[in-house]
Structure 1
C-alpha cells in the first residue's frame, strides 16, 4: 500500500471530521453572535451623543464593555469564563464548551463593526427622513442598514475569518477542529503531511469566505 493510500485511509476521515467540527463551531457561534452583536451595534449608534436615543450613560457603559471584552485574547477568555460556560451549556469541554467563549469573543467585535458601519451613513440622509416624520425603527431598517450593507458584509466577513482562527485554539477544551488536528498530529506526532493539508484547508476556507464577502459587498454597493 502506497503512502498516499495510507494517508487517505488513515487520516482523511479524521481530517473530514475536523472540518465538520470547525464548520459547526463557526456557523453556530456566528449565528448567535450576529443576533447579539447587530442589535448591540445599533444600540451603540442610537445612544451616541446627538442621535435619536442619546444617552451618555448607556453609551459609555456599552462602549466600555465592548472594549474590555475585545481587549482580552481569545486563549485567555477561553479559560477565564469556564465557570460561565459550564453554567450556560452544562459543560466546559467539547464543541458546546467552545461555542460560548466563541460567542463572547465575536459578539462585541460584531457590535463594534456594526457601529462603525452605521456611523458612516450620511447624516444628511438620516435627518431628511427624520424631518418627514419617519420613525426611528424605520430609518434604522430602511435607511441606515440598507446604506451600510456593503460595509456590514465586509465587517461580518472579517468576523467569520476571525472565528475560524479562534476555533484553532478551541481544541484546548477538547472541541476538536482543524487547529486541534494540526496540533495533535502535525506538532505532537510530527506528521507533517497532516499539518500541510490542515493549513491548506484553512487557507482555502479563508480565501473562499473573503471572496464571497467581497462579491456580496460589491453587489450591494451597486444596488
Structure 2
C-alpha cells in the first residue's frame, strides 16, 4: 500500500524547512497528543509501533498534510482505537459536535477486540539461524513491490540497482508486524544508490544510502 507518508523523492514540495530552537511541544495540546498516542499504542489498543506507523499511512492525505505532526499522531491514535473496537467509527467527531451544542447521538461503544499480540522479545532486533543472503560489495536490485498492506520499501527506490555497503542485524519486518501477521525477522542491508540511478542522468551527483530488508532485494 502506497501511502501519503511515503513522500521521499517526491517533487514539488520545495526545500525542507528546519526550525531552530524548536521546543519539544509548541503548544500544550501537542504534549497531550503525544501521551495519548503512546498509551493508545500499547496499553489501551494492544497494538505496536509498526501498527502506529501503518495507521499514519492510512490517514486521509488532506488530514495528513493539514493537521501537522502531532495532529497526525492524534488521528492515528483514534484509528488504532477504532481498529481495536474500543471506539466506534465517528465517536470522536460526534462527541466534539455535541460539545459544540449540536444535537448528536453518539455511537455506542463496541465490545473491544484488541489484537492477540505479544512480542517474542523486547525491542525490534531478533536473531535468525540463516546467514545473510547478500554481502558488502554485492550489486543488488530492489523489487517492484505493490503490496496491499504496508511496506517500508520507498517508491522512489523500487526497481533500482545499488551496492550493499553494510549488513545490519536482523530486525522485525514492519510489513507483517504492523498487521499482526508475524514478526518475520530478517537482515537489513544498507544499500548505496547513485543519484543518477534514482533521478536520471541530470541529477546532482551523490550516493544515497537506504536501509532495506532482505526480502526487498534480489541479485542484480
What TM-score range do you get, normalising by the shorter chain? under 0.3
Bigger fraction of residues in strand: 2
Using structure 1 for the length normalisation, give the TM-score: 0.21
Higher relative contact order, structure no. (Cα contacts within 8 Å, ≥ 6 residues apart): 1
Bigger fraction of residues in helix: 1
